[in-house]
Amino acid sequence: MEALAANPFHPQFGKRPEYFIGRDYIVRDFLCGLDNPNDPNRVTVVSGIRGSGKTALLTDVRDTLDSKRFAVVDVTAGPHFLQSVLDQLQADSPSAKRHVIGLNAGALGFSVGVATSVKEPEHGFRYHLTSLANELKSDGRGIVFLVDEVHRANDEMRELVITYQHLMRENHDVALLMAGLPQSVSSVLNDKILTFLHRSNRVFLSGVDAMLTEDLFRRVFEKAEVGITEETAAMAAKATCGFPYLIQLLGYYLWKGKGEALSRLDVERALLNSKADLFRNIHALIMRELSAKDQAFLFAMAESGSSVSMAEMAARLQVSSGYAAKYRLRLIESGVVKATGRGIISFDVPYMQEYLLRHSES
């Protein structure tokens, strides 16, 4: 029996998996939108919890783009990321006359000064980005901006989006794809200055269809000549809950422990190992980012069941229904819980109830 040389499943963060499923329609819609200057998909804002495949999606778009038609700006929205925007475009521009060597925030608002190797008056971010866009336009190319890890609205994010809007008005061939955690994206969308983004295509990364996941496991292991029944593939797919990171984790451990055929016991063992990584790398980070009261709400919810009524939550927490509703909205916005019926909520993160019960102090 010949096996593939390396494990084809990649649970590392930030790396596009070899088998990337369930997000192709988002990539397709964005790329197809580049053929129509009026397509709303040209500005797409993606949100999802950790492990839902945001970075892999951006990487897929970047690797698919035609570099002869577009210059690609691929940045993470950390501190001073506008400098990286200019640096990447400068490196990709037809002319290297202007070398950006420094960008500083002004004392009032966000007036930026950019020092260059060519003697000229100090100008702001918009001036330099527009100049680079003009150079690329003369070369028959547009710009695609890929912005990952979007944080809450700040001056740099406002400057980028406002400048992008001006580039559109000036008929530049530009597109913008942004991704971030739900609460961070919500902050940007609700910013009073960035109302332009309300007209964007907004996508929330939900779970991957079980049939796609089942098909993936069957294809990968059959290609490696490892026996896998329909029942075993279906069991493995169900265990992932359609969560992209867990699909890669479970596949990784199934591959690591594979023999001539996969059994139900192999899936159970792989799931145990996968949960350990999932709890450490996803659940613990999610909880760390929540307030103490948000955490208390979740612990109480876990003790009530995987699905619970808001009336029961208010009674368990000994608070008013209005008070409990505030935390319900916060946790829905963060992607941790979801509304599943009138007055009913349930967990929207795989195995969250199990994690909370394991870590409950009571």
- Report the sign of the C-alpha dihedral through residues 318, 279, 181, 78, in that order: positive
Q: What is the mean pLDDT of residues 166-193?
A: 93
pLDDT at 360: 82
Q: Is the pLDDT of residue 199 over 90?
A: no
Q: CA 257, CA 241: separation in Å to the nearest integer? A: 21
pLDDT at 138: 93
Q: Give the C-alpha distances (Å, rounded to integers) separating 308 from 75, 283, 312.
A: 40, 20, 7
Strand segments, DSSP code E, in 77-196 are: 100-105, 112-116, 142-148, 174-180
pLDDT at 361: 62
Nearest Cα to 213, choosing from 227, 193, 233, 194?
A: 233
pLDDT at 103: 56
Nearest Cα to 251, choosing from 228, 285, 279?
A: 228
3-class DSSP state for residue 55?
Answer: helix
Tell me whether residue 96 is exposed, middle or buried, using C-beta atoms within 10 angstroms of its C-beta: 0 to 12, 13 to 18, 19 or more. exposed
pLDDT at 104: 53
pLDDT, tens only, 20-73: 899 999 999 999 999 999 899 999 999 999 999 999 999 999 999 998 999 999
Domains of the chain (ranges, CATH numbers) = 24-204 (3.40.50.300), 212-286 (1.10.8), 291-358 (1.10.10.10)
For residue 277, give every residue at least 6 positions away whose Cβ sits within 8 Å of its Cβ, in sequence order, or none.
Answer: 11, 249
pLDDT at 176: 97
Q: What is the mean pLDDT of residues 133-162?
A: 93
Q: CA 93, CA 137: separation in Å to the nearest integer? A: 10
Tell whether pTM > 0.85: yes
Give the pLDDT band of residue 288 (cuts 50, 70, 90).
very high
pLDDT, tens only, 309-340: 999 999 999 999 999 999 999 999 999 999 99
pLDDT at 362: 47
Q: Is the pLDDT of residue 107 over 90?
A: no
The amino acid sitting at 327 is Y
Give the pLDDT band of residue 215 (cuts 50, 70, 90).
very high
